[in-house]
Amino acid sequence: MTKPLAGMYAALLTALTDDGDFSPERQRDLDAYVLRQGLTGLYVGGSSGESGLLESAALLEQQAVVAEDAKGSDAMLIAHVGLPSLKASIALARQARTLGYHALSALPPHSYPFSDAEILGYYKALAAATDLPLIVYEVPVRTGRPLPIELLVQLLDLPNVAGIKFTSTDLFKLTRLRLLRPDSVYYFGFDEVWLAGGILGADGGIGTTYSLIGRLYVALNEALREGDMARAQELQQVSAEFVVALLDVGVIPGMKAGMRAVGVDCGPARLPMASPVNDADAGMAKLLADPKFKTWLA
């Protein structure tokens, strides 16, 4: 049986003006494109949305714009609210509740070398701030260290915590967590190898590249659920090839260049983030003209 909140979610980009401020107008164009992809929903205000570089006011405004854009659709909305300040995180969480978001998520606090007890306290306070289900997060590439499995189990046992976004290559840890807490919902966060997590029982995915080629991940998830492993492997290979090319131009700058290539201008990446190449737009336009990728555009 499908768990509540299971499925494939685009880790939504944030649209900016040419000067790097939040742009409601560009965000609406971006949202319209992503919502056409047939994904389960949108994951708003996360790392893919440059939340670590944005002010709380911009993230609050983005939440409201996306909520308005999603009205009338079947899209589920998960608000990422994990900011360095617990107070700011709770403010984002409470607004998301008011706006009708379906769930919350948050990176663990990582601005300082927080202890396991401090991380547990953060999530406990955030989970208690609203009645929305909360998705916790294991992402060593962002936090600088993996969280111990004992702590992750404690987090999954907190009231209102529904599951975890698992963005780690430690697939044995994912397996152990599923054995210990089988009723939690599990999202695998590495787009380029999502199938590995899916085979091990992940209930869905949350990924950056879903914003641009989300239809590919819908098809990949369907192939796995239908037991068509040959098709699933074929689709995962397309995803991997896309990510390899994207890494050459920088993930967020490259995604925004890719959006421009399909007629959706969501602005630059927020400085100091920048592409390592001078021709990101030309490179992404050429990449997306390849039928292998073009067929998956919205």
Active site residues: 137, 165
The token duo for 250 is 């920088």
Is residue 55 classed as helix, strand or coil in its secondary structure? coil
**How far apart are the C-alpha atoms of 105 and 26, rounded to whole Å?**
24
Query: What is each CA distance from 75 to 5, 184, 230, in whole angstroms?
Result: 11, 21, 29
H/E segment holding residue 103: strand 103-105
Nearest-angstrom CA–CA distance, 192 and 134: 25
Residue 135 β-bridge partners: 105, 163
Instruction: Tell me the C-alpha distance between 189 and 209, whole Å.
Output: 11
